[in-house]
């Protein structure tokens, strides 16, 4: 079984400061890892993914995430936060051995609040 943990319900960051949203995962095979963002009254938007290759992946809107196999983590980061980054962020995982047959397992989400 696969699982995702987002230990923080909410993260508060001042505009212009770096931000980190934490995510740890558990899968039996190789992890396919994703970050999605959800703005109020809208569906989920894809931010970035890690499948294989470089541990640091870059995504939309200046976000990046670092895959750390030893710590089973995939934290989302951005060097300088914007007020418009305020939203609900979901980390998700799929077992790469599933061959695409399984849906994603999502974390419970982290509210990111950027204060002006």
Kindly state the smallest distance separating residue 107's Cβ from another protein, in Å.
6
> Where in 81-110 is the site for another protein (CB under 8 A)?
90, 92, 99-109
Token couple for 116 = 């002006």
Per-residue binding string, another protein, 44-63, x by CB under 8 A, is: xxx--x-x------------
Residue pair 51/59 in contact (Cβ under 8 Å)? The answer is no
Strands 87-95 and 105-106: antiparallel
C-alpha 61/C-alpha 27 separation (Å) is: 28
The secondary structure of residue 55, as a DSSP letter, is S
Nearer to another protein, 43 or 116 (CB): 43
Kindly state the smallest distance separating residue 73's Cβ from another protein, in Å.
18
Nearer to another protein, 1 or 70 (CB): 1
Per-residue binding string, another protein, 4-33, x by CB under 8 A, is: ----------------------------x-
| Helix-, strand-, coil-residue percentages of the chain, each rounded to 5 | 10, 50, 40
Token couple for 18 = 């770096």
Positions that interact with another protein (CB under 8 A): 32, 34, 36, 41-46, 49, 51, 90, 92, 99-109
């Amino acid at each position: 079984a696969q699982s995702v943990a987002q230990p923080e319900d909410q993260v508060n960051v001042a505009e212009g400061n770096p931000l980190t949203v934490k995510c740890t995962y558990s899968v039996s095979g190789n992890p396919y890892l994703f970050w999605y963002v959800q703005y109020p009254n809208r569906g989920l938007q894809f931010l970035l993914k890690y499948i294989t290759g470089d541990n640091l992946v870059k995504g939309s809107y200046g976000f990046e995430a670092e895959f750390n196999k030893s710590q089973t983590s995939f934290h989302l980061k951005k060097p300088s936060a914007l007020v418009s980054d305020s939203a609900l962020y979901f980390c998700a995982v799929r077992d790469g051995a599933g061959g695409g047959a399984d849906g994603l397992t999502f974390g419970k989400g982290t509210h990111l609040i950027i204060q002006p």
